[in-house]
């Protein structure tokens, strides 16, 4: 079992930046691809970014490409999401997730085996 805990969310003005962290426990995530998803009120959960187990490959939704950066530190069992040039439409609960079996670039929530509880990000205009 893998437990994931997100942190770093909060309220930020449009154009600002936030960095989310996802700390894993229970077992090492070094063999897992990791992803970030988000869910806004009344909307379905959507893919944001993912990263291969080694960190050598990263994948992004078009809506965040060039503004968000996903990274990981396997020694710390932690995954990060740097968010820059934030927009009001980025407002959502952000979740990290672990994917052991499926391709690291998967944008399908059902392909991820473990999920955190989420952290709220609110971007004011």
pLDDT given at position 95: 98
Proportion of the chain above pLDDT 70, given as a percent: 100
Average pLDDT, the chain: 96
Query: Alpha carbon of 1 to those of 27, 28, 114: distances in Å?
Result: 7, 10, 8
Query: Alpha carbon of 101 to those of 24, 28, 32: distances in Å?
Result: 18, 15, 8
Which residue from 88, 93, 114 is spatially nearest to 12, judged by alpha carbons? Answer: 88
Q: pLDDT tens, 77-119?
A: 999 999 999 999 999 999 999 998 888 889 999 999 999 999 9
Token digits of residue 20: 């989310």
Phi/psi of residue 110, each to 5°?
Answer: -65, -15
Strands (E), the chain: 3-7, 10-13, 18-25, 33-39, 46-51, 58-60, 68-73, 78-83, 92-99, 114-115, 119-124
pLDDT band at 52 (very low <50, low <70, confident <90, very high): very high
């Amino acid at each position: 079992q893998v437990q994931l805990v997100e942190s770093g969310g909060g309220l930020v003005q449009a154009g600002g930046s936030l960095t989310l962290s996802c700390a894993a426990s229970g077992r090492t995530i070094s063999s897992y691809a990791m992803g970030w998803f988000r869910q806004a009120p009344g909307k379905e959960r959507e893919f944001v970014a993912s990263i291969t187990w080694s960190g050598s490959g990263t994948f992004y939704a078009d809506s965040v490409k060039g503004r968000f950066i996903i990274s990981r530190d396997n020694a710390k069992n932690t995954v990060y999401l740097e968010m820059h040039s934030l927009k009001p439409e980025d407002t959502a609960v952000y979740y990290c997730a672990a994917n052991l079996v499926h391709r690291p670039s998967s944008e399908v929530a059902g392909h991820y085996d473990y999920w955190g509880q989420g952290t709220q990000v609110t971007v004011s205009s």
